[in-house]
Structure 1
Amino acid sequence: MSSPGGSAVSPLIPALLIAASSASVLSTDLYAPSLPHLPALLSTDASTVTLTMSLNLGSFALAQLFHGPLADRFGRRPVFLGGMAAFLLTALAAASAQTIEQLIVARVLMGIAASVEAVIALAVIRDLYDEAGAVRILAIYGMTIAIAPAVGPVIGGFVFVWAGWRANFLLLAAAVALVFALSARWLPETVAEFDRHALGLRRIAGGYLSLLANRNYMAYSLTLAFGLAGIFAFVTSGPFVFIARHGVATQYYGFFQMAIVAAFFVGTMVAGRAVGRIDARRICGIGVFLSLTGGAALIIAVAVAESPWSITAAVSLFAAGLGPLFAAGPVLAMGAAPQIGGGVSAAMIGTLEMGGGALGALIVGLNPDAGAWPLAATMAASSLLILLAFIAARGTESRARPS
């Protein structure tokens, strides 16, 4: 695949970004099957345990606002490697936690460290690819990193049964160490020229305020944020609904999530094949339709025939919609603000995305023992908000076209 300038891009670069993103995803999905068991193991309650998810996502979101300017000032490579080193240390800290308070602190710090890869991945893709190439590589990126949330809960469930919850964080630390070593050897610097003024407070504030005032940028970014609000509501609530409510064995819970991730994989594959046939906005629209259908289906499933199977089917529809959304949405958002540095633009997208994820996790975490209705309501509301954000972007574009 070639860059905007026509030169070939080494396949090692997206491969390393995919590996780092997969490690970041595993920081949540390896650990998720342990959630219903931690209240007893750490002498706490379920609502406090869910803070290890929601606060991790919150710190992941906010830290990106700082990583973006750092990546524009000092380059993609040093910021990426520094973040991965910190990620390794926080995984070891989580494995060593003796109390729920220590685990929460370790998870918050882990979110800050793991968020580096989200900023750098989008910034590097913007550095190297034109719009069609970026949509294509993001589709491949989405399909490949989908392996992590597919196999993560399966591995995490069996590891928990065999060796306990701490072993999942030790396994994560080993994966991060491997990615760090490979990246230190093979990941090049991709930004052509460092922005010496990127860390000026006025410059940072001006860049983010400009993005907040850019209706198209915000609308497309919010479609992604609401999408993650829905999916992280499931990631947080799913183990309680499936394991505690419906009696699914911990080691088998991951197979239900694997089906959901497979639907996301199909969605990203459809998006990748659509590149060149339809434009990025229409690809995004396919995702909106599927997510809305999934949200409605989940309400019906919980009201009429609640079971692990019916919930999985409905959430799978929602997840299938995220494939096209996350292939085309970032490209459309960043394309709406070409004058803003790639690191800052990617950071704001990541902050909104993971802020949405944190909000979804926090909402269902208020009462994780309340059954499936909080999950269904949160995902249905997310799907409606995705639609409204997409309509807002289309409306802006239609007014911008000449008559």
Structure 2
Amino acid sequence: MHPREFVAFVAAVMAVNAFGVDLMLPALADIGRDLSIMEANHRQWIITVYMVGFGAGQLVYGPLADRYGRRPILLVTLAGFTAASIFAASSTTFAALLFARLLQGLMSASTRVLAVAIVRDGSSGRQMARTMSVAQMIFFLVPILAPTLGQLLLAFGPWRFIFYVLGGFAAFVLAWSAVRLPETLPIARRRAISLEALRGSYHLTLTNRYSLGYAIAASLTFGGIIAFVSLSQQIFVDEFDAGDRFTMLFALCACAMGAASFLNSRLVERLGTRLISQSAVLALIALSIVHVAVVLAGWETLASYVFFQALSMTCIGLCGANFGAMAMEPVGHIAGTASSLQGFITSIGAVIVGTLIGQSYAGTTTPLAIGYLCIGLIVLGIIWVVEEGQLFRARMS
């Protein structure tokens, strides 16, 4: 592929998962009414169960991709995601929908593992971080556009129509992969699937302090995104009565993340992954302290919430690709397996963090503000341990 097409392709693969999370956000209330979901917080499980499948599935695809190559695994799982989307569209009970969402998550897990592995097959360090940042910049257009697109789809049909469109997009990426994606893992670098090989790869991934530490750090910041996405409709619509502006306000916060990824892609090769990500963590802590003070003082308004949320998402956007690149740097020779294990840690950890914050919601933004402060402090502690107390050092990733 031409480099520009390659970046667009990686972004499209990643967007399958992003659409899987964000496209149905405007329909959560309709789904709740249609499937008799009485408790508003229970609607969050439509997002959470998907992310559980997304995290668990990553353990499988890494070893498979290291053994059979990236391309066949991607083709099979995109086909599975398309089928799961049709299943979701035909669900008549909340339990059936949750099962369909779990299957969607299991299938889309390959997109995270393989996007990272495919990029890592041809680059590393700051170059990998730059490629991932450009892809994520395009990828972050999805959260900006998805709720608006979902709202538009609701004007033409019921919430089930959204899942049919989701399956159609996965089918499009499947066709693109089948026609244009070459195999990026040479036969000479493929690894047989065996318990001994898996144990060795897992041991290396879990015992290297950069690999494990930055995967955990990424899980915490990703958990902040999950919490925001899960709570967005309740906060904007129920708390601030801004349902008519929901898609615009959600897009504004998502746009901040996209801008951060673009900025990171321009600066990371010059400034380095550590300087940018560590500065972003410190900024997140400072912002969260002020936000908590505003909330506890009773001064929170829709404008203040959007202001602090957008800036916090900017900080998180400056962390994501850099944490991922630093976690992968020492385990590039087992990129598929390492990416799957790191992805499992990141996704399941994010589900736990996002659920703790989301299920604490009781009509105010207090849990989100305090949650972001805790995330920033814990991530800073992890960085301190991983870097052995040497923050902002000039070591190249």
Q: TM-score, normalised by structure 2?
A: 0.92
Q: Tell me the distance in 1 between the aligned counterparts of 2:14 and 2:185.
A: 20
Paired with 1:35 and 1:357, the residues of 2 have a C-alpha distance of: 21
Corresponding residue for residue 4 of structure 1:
none
Aligned twin of 2:316: 322
* C-alpha displacement of 1:369: 4.5
1:373 maps to which of 363, 366, 369: 366
Match of 1:312 in 2: 306
User: Are 1:288 and 1:321, in contact at CA under 8 Å, matched by a contact in 2?
Assistant: yes
* C-alpha contact (below 8 Å) 1:136/1:275 kept by paired residues: yes
> What are the within-5 Å matches in structure 2 for residues 145-294 of structure 1?
145-193=139-187, 197-249=191-243, 252-294=245-287
For residues 4-403 of structure 1, what are the structure 2 equivalents within 5 Å? Answer: 10-44=3-37, 45-193=39-187, 197-249=191-243, 252-303=245-296, 304-338=298-332, 340-395=333-388
| Higher mean C-alpha displacement, 8-17 vs 145-154 | 8-17
2-structure distance, mates of 1:265, 1:378: 22
CA distance in 2, matches of 1:370, 1:194: 56
**How far has the Cα of 1:233 moved from its partner?**
0.4
Give the letter for the 1:87 counterpart.
F
Deviations 1:199-248 (A, max 9, x none): 21222133113211111211111221111111110100111111122212
Q: For 1:43, give the aligned amino acid.
A: S
1:3 counterpart residue number: none
For structure 1, the residue ranges without an aligned partner over 5 or more in a row are: 1-7
Q: Which shows bigger deviation, 184-193 or 380-389?
A: 380-389
Decide whether the 8 Å contact of 1:216 with 1:396 is kept in 2: no
1:196–1:327 CA distance, 2 compared to 1 (3 A): closer
Structure 2 alignment gaps of length 5 or more: none
Change (3 A) 1:37 1:389: farther
**Displacement of 1:353:** 1.9
1: CA distance, partners of 2:70 / 2:389: 32
| Pair 292,9 (structure 1): closer, same or farther in 2 beyond 3 Å | farther
State the Cα distance separating 1:367 from its structure 2 match: 4.9
Residue 269 of structure 1 deviates from its aligned partner by: 2.0
Structure 1 residue 98: Cα displacement: 0.6
Residue 368 of structure 1 and its aligned partner are, at CA, apart by: 4.5
Structure-2 change in CA distance of 1:130 and 1:366 (3 Å): closer
Per the alignment, in what secondary structure is the counterpart of residue 106 of structure 2? helix
Q: CA RMSD in A?
A: 2.2
Aligned residues: 391
* Distance verdict in 2 for CA 1:393–1:312, change over 3 Å: same
Q: Percent identity?
A: 25
Amino acid at match of 1:126: R
CA contact (8 A) 1:229 1:379 kept: no
